[in-house]
Amino acid sequence: MYEIPLKTGKEMLAKNMIRVGIDIGGTFTDLVATDEKHSLWKIKVLTKPTDPSIGALGAVRRLLEKEGADPRLVRVVTHATTLASNALLTGNIPKTALVTTSGFRDVLEIGRQNRPELYNLQVERLPPLVPRRYRFEVQERITYDGRVLEPLDTSQAVRVARRIRRLGIGTVAVCLLHSYANPRHEKKLGEIFRREHPSARLSLSSELLPEFREYERTSTTVVNACLQPLFAVYLKKLEEGLEELGVRAPVFVMQSNSGTVLSHQASLEPARLIESGPVAGAVASKFYAGGSESIVSLDVGGTTSKAGVWSGRGFEVTNEYEVGGCLHGGSRVEGSGYPVRFPVVDLVEVGLGGGSVAWVNDALVLHVGPQSAGASPGPACYGKGGRLPTLTDASLVLGRLSPSFLLGGDLRLKPELAYAAVAELVAKPLRMDVIDGAVGVLRIAVAKIVEALRAATVEKGLDPRKMTLVAFGGAGPMFTCEVAEQLEIERIVVPPAAGLLSSLGLLLAEPLHDSVRTVLKDAGDVNPGELETIFRKMEGRAADLLHKEGVKQREVKYQRLLEMRYQGQSYELPVPLLGRIVTVGVVRSAVQDFHRIHQTKYGYSQPGKPVEIVNVRSYCKGKPGTIARVMGRLAREEGPRKSRRVWFMDGHGIECQILQRDTLRLGTKGKGPCVIEDYDSTLVIPPGARYVIDRNCSASIAI
């Protein structure tokens, strides 16, 4: 293993600060910690679904007690959690109220005229997060350009606030028509609620998302309001638990935009945290890609597989994200979930992971997922009461997993239980032997992972054959070579601690705040001074937040974008600004860039057509974190050589050499077939493939 216990005494106190990253997944909770002496600790424990903080605090307790780390030296804790998405998927959210402009009470239910299934006349949308009886109207009207058409009826607003208080509703979303153009009435409503219902948590759309498109803005504000009480309680409990353990470091939380935010701000804007864990893994994949400027990341966890793309400019980012919706072919079905308009790293997801259940339907067709055994009871081989065969069970039957090495031996697997589950519920219904049934599970799993990668690359006009595949997650390295073969990808990188890479990504992420403001101006008529004023205001707020997070002014980096479209279009494209100050020349240059970007994305452009500036957007970021690159020096001596029979996609079993990852030093070369076992993951290399341990201690594989 790569861990080096910290020393005790005076040497510990000599400026040897520790940074901790904790990622809570559906099956495992992962912790990675590093210090300034390049020590690295890896801890993986089962997640407690009913209370995720138990697993997180348990991992920290193990770091402090078993590994001997001093809690006084922990400088920062960065956290990623699936709490937001799980709450929305299960409907386990608090009672929430919505206050909106008179006549717009039903925006949440009307939505857009896009059906998730075009030809299904019986399609049912997700129920609104706020029932109609808890949606309230107030008399007021502001026009799209910010003029007050009808003043706010303050006496009615007071009655609404008092009624919400009497109903015992403690969280309120406020979204008035065109408040992005003039927030005066929303601010007044906020003052009334703070006076009449002071205990209520408020989400004002003009503060949260001053952007046009009424339905999406309302949905985002409501999602945020629903999550606020959950995150406030959860983060407070986590911080109090850390303090009881002697850790008094600030807690940061990973956002969906690939940056971190202080826990206090996270509890105010939890809708920004929905995809925090998977995004952290994508951040780390760029670090380990060996300088490649074209990367596709593959994260196979216990429940899902996610694929993301990094180009030379950065991650593929989308604002058109829906939480809780359906998936089809690895893509989210538009109109099937709750829209959240914050920037999200564009990850393609399929319901396939190590805990995915293999099952045979009435037509005798084998399926894998999307149902998952999760952490409780888990796969049959865990011996915790699970009876259903999973991808993990099939992998154990096929010799791909060691019964005694997972989590360094802390999690002992029971092959006889895996064999029995696959035999009874897969092989027997299909009238085949157990090995063939397990190979069938493997083939379907690989096909579904390939589906996700194709959706992230080919369906977006990208050629995966020219990209580097970075595989991680507890199950990612086990299938990555077969996946690469099907996509004709020639180079694979499997980072060290691949099963905990999302936690590593938390240590590499940078503090980041994004802001947006709708302007709706013709590019030819816009006043550059007005745009500059908007940018400076957004950047000033972000810089203040970064200062509270300990970022020095000289370390702050700014990125400005104009989101533009041709007049008459419904959607806009982001265009980075080249100049630090907005001038007429900078705007003209942005228009030319817009034509070029439009040509690249859609295959045509219309240089003679007027261009409209829809939104101005700003990203303000601090300095990213670092982790040790010297783990290869910590390799221990190789023990007795081992081998076992491993089955591959063609159904043939081959006697394979079994290697331990922590015995492979920098520059070590080898070829398949072989299995490389690590504390947190298992890498299966098929015949014909070659590997080398590179300078980042990653296994670089050539197919």
Q: Are 250 and 76 in contact (CB under 8 A)?
A: yes
Residue 640: the pLDDT is: 66
Cα angle 471-475-478, degrees, rounded to a multiple of 5: 75
In angstroms, the CA 428 to CA 460 distance is 41
Q: Is residue 541 part of a domain?
A: yes
Peptide bond into 151 cis (omega under 30): no
Q: What is the DSSP letter of 527?
A: -
In angstroms, the CA 63 to CA 33 distance is 8
Please return the burial class of 96, using the count of CB atoms within 10 Å of its CB with bins 0-12, 13-18 and 19+: buried
CA-based Rg of the chain, rounded to a whole angstrom? 26
Residue 333: the pLDDT is: 64
How far is C-alpha 688 from the chain's CA centre?
34
578 & 644 share domain: no
Q: Are 561 and 617 in contact (CB under 8 A)?
A: yes
Q: Is residue 474 part of a domain?
A: no
Between helix 214-244 and helix 52-65 the angle, nearest 10°, is 40
556 & 671 share domain: no
Q: Is residue 263 part of a domain?
A: no
Domain hosting 660: range is 631-702
Cα angle 79-80-82, degrees, rounded to a multiple of 5: 140
Q: Is residue 209 part of a domain?
A: yes
Number of structural domains the chain divides into: 3
613 & 646 share domain: no
101 & 133 share domain: yes
601 & 557 share domain: yes
- Considering 603, 621, 639, which residue would you say is the last residue of a domain? 621
- Classify residue 331 as left (phi > 0), alpha (psi -120 to 50) or beta: beta
Q: Are 377 and 386 in contact (CB under 8 A)?
A: yes
Q: What are phi and psi of 429, to 5 degrees?
A: -60, -30
As averages over each run of 10 residues, the pLDDT of the chain (703 residues) reads 32 65 85 82 83 90 88 92 80 93 94 77 84 97 95 97 97 97 97 96 96 95 96 94 94 93 94 86 84 88 86 77 67 74 88 91 92 84 91 95 75 91 95 96 95 89 91 92 95 90 90 95 94 96 92 91 94 90 94 95 92 96 70 53 90 92 88 90 93 87 86
Domain CATH for 536: 3.30.1490
Q: Is residue 6 part of a domain?
A: no
In angstroms, the CA 372 to CA 233 distance is 27
Share of the chain residues as helix, strand and coil, in percent rounded to the nearest 5: 35, 25, 40
Residue 230: the pLDDT is: 93
In angstroms, the CA 184 to CA 179 distance is 8
In angstroms, the CA 323 to CA 247 distance is 33
Residue 632: the pLDDT is: 41
Domain CATH for 184: 3.40.50
In angstroms, the CA 52 to CA 112 distance is 35
Residue 240: the pLDDT is: 95
- Considering 231, 256, 282, which residue would you say is the last residue of a domain? 231
- Considering 602, 621, 640, which residue would you say is the last residue of a domain? 621
585 & 657 share domain: no
